[in-house]
Each structure stands twice: as structure tokens, then as C-alpha cells.
Amino acid sequence: MTDFVLYDAAEIAVGPGVDEPIETIEDAAIAVADGEVVAVGPTDEITREHPPENAADSLDASGNAVVPGFVDPHTHALFAGDRSDEFEAKLRGKTYQEILADGGGILKSVRAVREASEDELVSNLLGHLDTMLAHGTTTVEVKSGYGLDTETELRMLAATGRADEQHPVDVVPTFMGAHAVPQGRDADDYVDEVCEEQIPAAAEQGIATFCDVFCEEGVFSVEQSRRVLKVGREHGMTPKVHAEELAHIGGTKLAAELGATSADHLLHSTEEDVDALVEADVIPVLLPGTAFGLGAEYADARGMLDQGAPVAIATDFNPNCHSHSMGFAQSLACVGMRMTPAEALRASTTNAAAALDLGARTGTLRERAPADFAVVDAPSFRHVPYQYGTNLVETVVKAGERVHG
Ligand code: NIG
Ligand code: FE
């Protein structure tokens, strides 16, 4: 039996097409069984074969558009406390690096996370996952990196795994012990600890898919980052790199050299860097919310797209960039980076799924894709970035189940 039939949708965005960035079907329906899409097409065709009245659940989506559930491929969503004071300091002109050098920024979040119990961390993350789901996100990557010692990094990963089990949003965990140099420590000495203690312990605990590093001027050099990522890979974690966010030091080329799954931020990447990414099949993950919050210039998404790069976008949700919304990221991608709404949707779905090594169907609504989608209160996917600041998501279906709205 069909588990779920949605019908009479003004539009269903099924995913990237052959020549079109996004293929859409008007007056459309979708039928779901066993958590997967079994049929998508014009309402009369689909409902003939899958009558809504025979399905376990059904939804009349008149006037609404349906989009694939958003995949948010870069967040630091597990933390404790907040940094609203630093938001104000930044508005008065203090830079991200100055705040970090004064023991604030990431280091402030580290103090709060070290004091938090695993249960508190689980409950914090569950709250954020609820908000993300309400904004249409059905898969999210979450990094550790506010522990900066073995015990707290493992606690973060354990809390991430527990939240994933308890919540319909799929969580992809990333180990990021190399997120900052702990106060009073020498960077090389700390990299020794990450490589010799933290990574083996995280691998033994067995729940981190990726290993990421903040390859940045004044944080971890290219050499230090290379070492961390190589050791991570030896322990079964696939590399990702925070590259050229605040300065250009070579993180993008490192991602290409190592065949990382993604290189993220890229505010200062060059054309040559992007060629190297394309050549090595590394997904550029752009984080327009971060540039917006820092008052920095946006990454050159248009240039990257023209070079043939499969640009993905993410919220970068973290205490320095407090947005749960992929819709807002799409608005910024369009207005700030001159991406089209279709490019922004693709960047939030299939390209974002590729940035997490998920199957090719994730982020589409084609047959046999995971039945993850959001129903929006507007007639086209274009309204998601166009109506900035408004959450249009009414209903979310994850693996064929209505989980929101
Ligand atoms: O991706 N740049 C490093 N990491 C995060 C920020 C984390 C934080 O400030 O707490 C980022 O923007
Ligand atoms: Fe980040």
C-alpha cells in the first residue's frame, strides 16, 4: 500500500534536470512507500494509480510548492550558551580574530561546552534540530570542536549520535578537534594531541564520518591541517577543510590535494584554487550567512559556477552565525552572491548532499529518492529565497512520515 500521497501541488521541484538547473512539474502529485518516492508526476496520472483515499496519509497541497528537504552540509549546531555580547562587539568594529585572540569566540563556546553535561548537549541540539526541521531541513551535518580536549570532543560526538537517534532530521557527524588552538597551548603541541589521542579515541567511539580542520592564518597552517586530515583518513574519517575564510593560505589546494569531500567558506579563493577543486571533484560549500554576519565580502559563487563547480550552500549555524534557515541562506546566495533561485535550490539539495557523500538521489524527489520534502506556502520554489526573512515551510515529510506541520 502507498503510505503517503500528496496531490494537487501547484509545483513539485523534483531536482536538477538534464539541461535545466531544476526540473519542476506543475499541478503535481507524489506517492511514497517504505520511506521512498515511488511515483511523481501530474496529479491525475499519479492519483489514478495511487488514490489518496487508499493511502495511510494524504495531503491536499493546492496552492503550494513542494521542494526536496534541504540538506545543510556545514554547521556547528552543538554548543552551549550564546555569544550575543560578541554580536554587539562586532557591530562596534571588533573583528572575529580580535575576539578569538582575547579568549572569546570559539574559546568562549569551548568553556561553556566543557561545563555542559552530555544530557544538556543532547537537549540543546534537539532544540536546534526542531527549528531546522521547521525551516525545511531534513539532513544536517554537525561538527564537534567546542571541546578541544579528548573527553569533551568525545562527549560532543556522543551527544550528536544520541540526538540523531532521537530526532527525525538525519545528522551527519564530523570530528573537528582542530577547530582552534586551546588557550595557553602551542599549536604544534595541540596538533600532536589531536592526531595521537583525539582522532584514535573518536575513531574507536566510531561515530564521526568526516574530519574537518580550521586551516586559517593564526589557527592551523596548511602543514598542520594536512597532518590532521591524513591521520583522520587513516582512522576512517573523510577530510573536509575550512579554507580561505579570513585569509588566503592554501587550504583550498590542500582540499584538492587530499581529495577532500568539500572545501568550505572560500571567501578568498582564487580562480586557480577553484580549478583545482573542480579537477579533484571537491564540492565548494559556501556559507553566505557567515559573510553576512562578519560584514565580509561574499564568496565568488558566480565565478565558481562559471568554472563548472557544483556549488553547495550551508547555514554554518553556530554561535557566531545564528541562523537555522536554509531559506535565508538561499536569499543571501541570491542577493549577496547573485545565484539564481534554481542554483540556490540545487546548492541546498543535490550539491549539498554531494558535500556529505550522500547518494545521488538524496536532495531530489525522483523515483526511489528518500521521501524527504517540504511543502511551502507559495506556488513556486522561487519564493523561498524571494520572500526573505519569512519561513514559508508549512509541512515537512521525512522518510515518508509527516514530521512537522
Ligand atoms: O565555520 N571558522 C570556524 N568555524 C566556524 C565558526 C565557529 C565559531 O565561531 O564558533 C565557521 O564559521
Ligand atoms: Fe565552520
Whether 104 is covered by a domain: the verdict is yes
CA distance 399 to 405: 15
Local structure of 318: helix, strand or coil: strand
pLDDT computed for residue 16 by the predictor: 83
**Residue owning the nearest CA to atom 1 of ligand 1:** 316
The answer to whether residue 219 sits within a structural domain is: yes
3-state secondary structure of 293: helix
Please tell me the predicted confidence (pLDDT) of residue 19: 62
Q: Which of 99, 179, 285 to mutate to test the pocket of ligand 1 (most atoms within 8 A of CB)?
A: 179
Residue 285 belongs to some domain of the structure: yes
Using most ligand atoms within 8 A of CB, pick from 106, 264, 317 the residue to mutate for ligand 1: 106
pLDDT tens digits, one per residue of 222-231: 999 999 999 9
Does residue 359 lie in a domain region?
Answer: no
pLDDT of residue 207: 87
Same-domain pairing of 136 and 56: no
Name all residues whose Cβ lies below 6 A of ligand 1.
76, 105-106, 109, 214, 242, 245, 290, 316, 318-321
In the prediction, which pLDDT does 21 show? 79
Task: Please tell me whether residues 203 and 110 are part of one structural domain.
Answer: yes
Element (H, E) at 255: helix 251-258
Give me the domain span that covers residue 34.
4-68+365-404
DSSP 235: T
Give me the CATH number covering residue 40.
2.30.40.10
Least Cα distance to 205 among 142, 248, 154 occurs for: 154
Task: Give the atom of ligand 1 at the shortest distance from the alpha carbon of 246.
Answer: 2
CA 223 / ligand 2 centre spacing (Å)? 19
Residue 62 lies in a domain: yes
pTM for this model (two decimals): 0.98
User: Measured in angstroms, how far is the CA atom of residue 241 from the centroid of ligand 1?
Assistant: 12
Residues 192-202: pLDDT tens digits? 999 999 999 99
Q: If you measure from the C-alpha of residue 286 to the centroid of ligand 1, how many angstroms do you get, rounded to a whole number?
A: 13
Instruction: Give 95-130 as a 3 state SS string.
Output: CHHHHHHCCCCHHHHHHHHHHCCHHHHHHHHHHHHH
How many domains does the chain divide into?
Answer: 2
Ligand nearest to the CA of 145: 1
Neighbour-count burial for 144-180, b at 16+ CB within 10 Å, e otherwise = bbbbbbbebbbbbbbbbbbbbeebbbbbbbbbbbbbb
pLDDT of residue 18: 62
- Statement to judge: residues 121 and 203 lie in one domain: yes
Reported as a single tens digit per residue, the pLDDT across 302-351 is 999 999 999 999 999 999 999 999 999 999 999 999 999 999 999 999 99
**Helix (H), strand (E), coil (C) string for 10-79:** EEEEEECCCCCCCEEEEEEEEEEECCEEEEEEEHHHHHHHCCHHHCCEEEECCCCEEEECEEECCCCCCC
Q: Which atom of ligand 1 is nearest to the CA of 290?
A: 12
For a substitution probing ligand 1, which of 94, 179, 318 has the most ligand atoms within 8 Å of its CB? Answer: 318
Q: What is the DSSP letter of 227?
A: H
Q: Which atom of ligand 1 is nearest to the CA of 180?
A: 3
- Tell whether 360 is covered by a domain: no
Rounded Cα gap, residues 235 and 233, in angstroms? 5
CATH number, position 267: 3.20.20.140
| Cα–Cα dist 11/21, whole Å | 15
- DSSP, collapsed to helix, strand or coil, labels residue 208 as coil
Question: Rounded to whole angstroms, how far apart are CA atoms 101 and 391?
Answer: 36
Cell of 382: 522561487
**27 shares its domain with 128:** no
Same domain, 338 and 376: no
Residues 99 and 225 both lie in one domain: yes
Residues 207 and 58 in one domain: no
CA distance 262 to 284: 6
Do 215 and 334 reside in the same domain of the chain? yes
- Which stretches of the chain drop beneath a pLDDT of 70? 17-19
Span from the CA of 258 to the centroid of ligand 1 (angstroms): 22
* Ligand 1 centroid from CA 400, angstroms: 34
* Domain contains 272: yes
Nearest to 185 by CA among 103, 307, 98, 285: 103
Nearest to 81 by CA among 104, 48, 65, 50: 104
Taking the CA of 212 as reference, the closest ligand is: 2
Residue 232 belongs to a domain: yes
Mention every residue, 6+ apart, whose C-beta is less than 8 A from residue 328: 289, 315, 388, 389
Same domain, 61 and 99: no
Residues 350 and 384 both lie in one domain = no
Strand 36-42 with 23-33, pairing: antiparallel
**Ligand 1 atom 10 nearest Cα:** 106
Whether 228 and 340 share a structural domain: yes
Q: Determine the atom of ligand 1 nearest the C-alpha atom of 109.
A: 10
CA of 369 from ligand 2 middle (Å) equals: 28
Whether residue 149 sits in one domain with residue 45 = no
